[in-house]
Amino acid sequence: MARAGLTTERVTVAGAEVADEVGLDQVTMSRVARRLGVKDASLYTHVRSLEDLRGRIALLAADEKTVRIAEATAGRAGRDALIAFAGAWRDYAHEHPGRYAATQAPIRIDPDLVAKAPGPRRAIELTYTMLRGYGLAEPDLTDAVRLLRSAFHGFVSLEAAGSFAHRRSPQQSWVRALDALHTLLEHWPPPGEGDSR
Amino acid sequence: MARAGLTTERVTVAGAEVADEVGLDQVTMSRVARRLGVKDASLYTHVRSLEDLRGRIALLAADEKTVRIAEATAGRAGRDALIAFAGAWRDYAHEHPGRYAATQAPIRIDPDLVAKAPGPRRAIELTYTMLRGYGLAEPDLTDAVRLLRSAFHGFVSLEAAGSFAHRRSPQQSWVRALDALHTLLEHWPPPGEGDSR
DNA sequence: GTCGCTTCCTAGGAGTCCTAGGCATATCCT
DNA sequence: AGGATATGCCTAGGACTCCTAGGAAGCGAC
């Protein structure tokens, strides 16, 4: 009986593929094992548990998404960088819905694993870098980063859940939302009582 | 043997309680049955399947959240309404994390059930009502609604996932984000090439 | 009281996660 | 090259899950 040549990496990728194809909640040990032509018990040599596998998928996704964003924003600044950043984010979520869902799922991930994975931290750094051109200073910078991340994540989540049922296409709303966020970053309001006009 | 007096409503509420206490993915037929002092098979008289139960929890949550928002925004306008709306949204997510997660989970919900539940549709209407004071016209209105919903949902999702690990408290960022969104709604950019300054 | 409907039960099949222990295969050492 | 060691994948099985089928016990109507 020939060996299947499994490895933690291959199991994780197979799990990510299952997640993208049929949803994150369908990522089960037996299903991943079937895809790899192997019995489910065999996976436990490479992965501690189902929870562990899901965590690895989440980290894989975070890393991949970060790389995409880094490539897209390289050499860009200001408005161009914002659009490239957001576009890469949304494209990744569309292409890999299961992986993307894993990044948001309530999973306890092994801290050692997180420490090794550069994705999440680097994603934050990239956001700060992108905002450099807008001239924001702390703590406004952190607040702006959080708002942008919220808007991006919220948009693709609602989109994936089918919450944009209105006639207008999500794509159009997306473009206009980025317009609006760009404007907002250029006119970030000062602290204190928010005045009108 | 006395009857437990189950009903679809009671089963749904029990499921929602389990979701809030230990997470949506821990909502299982057996667990809900144990909480109700009943065998799991008994639940199938009131609920079609686990998927059906999850869908009902999602609709329950949508309705509850909508009611909260309606109460909070009643009689308010402009900035006050925006803050009350967003605050009610976030408070509900904090108080009922499992229910809130259900509203976002990838669940196929019985269309007939959805038609009867006023929550989702009314939530959208409330958002439009809240924005009335800002003088936006279609299609900007729809785009603004979508951006706001994205920002609110994204913020509470990231917050729940522990993605705001920076020193600055999420609460402070939340207040400033609402400042920023209020400003943005007052200066919603015109279509076309987004200019700077 | 008795009939009939609903509720809740017991029993059981199929699928899931995970552990324990065994055999076969790859790798290293001389 | 051949043997020792380590590793990969297996079978077997327990505990738990969802869900169905069919039976018994409580409730309301008459």
ipTM of predicted assembly, 2 dp: 0.89
pLDDT computed for residue A114 by the predictor? 75
CA distance B155 to chain A (A): 5
**Conformational region of residue B5, where left means phi above 0, alpha means psi within -120 to 50, and beta covers everything else:** left
Which bases on strand D have an atom closer than 7 Å to a protein beta carbon? 7-13, 16-22, 25-27
Say if residues B32 and B98 touch (Cβ distance below 8 Å): no
For chain B, strand residue ranges (E) read: none
Which option is the CATH number for A58-186: 3.30.70.600, 3.40.50.720, 1.10.357.10, 3.30.420.40? 1.10.357.10
Domain ranges of chain A: 58-186
Which nucleotide is nearest to A1 if distance is taken from CA to C1'? C24
CATH architecture of B8-186: Orthogonal Bundle (1.10)
On chain B, the residues whose CB falls within 8 A of the CB of A164 are: 146
Mean pLDDT check: name the lowest of A63-72, A99-108, B58-67, B95-104: A99-108
Tokens of B103: 């509203």
Residues in contact with A53: Cβ distance below 8 Å, sequence separation at least 6, in sequence order = A11, A12, A15, A27, A29, A32, A43, A47
> Residue B197: pLDDT band by 50, 70, 90 thresholds?
very low
Burial of residue B45 (number of CB atoms within 10 Å: 0-12, 13-18, 19+): exposed
Task: Report the gap between the CA of B76 and the closest CA in chain A (Å).
Answer: 16
Summarize pLDDT for A90-116 with one digit per residue, the tens. Answer: 999 999 999 999 998 877 787 777 777
Q: Which residues of B131-158 are buried (b: 16+ CB within 10 A; e: fewer)?
A: bebbebeebbbbbbbbbbbbbbbbbbbb
Report CA(A91)–C1'(D17) in Å, whole number. Answer: 36
Q: Express each pLDDT in B116-166 by its tens digit.
A: 777 677 888 888 889 988 988 889 999 999 999 999 999 999 999 988 887
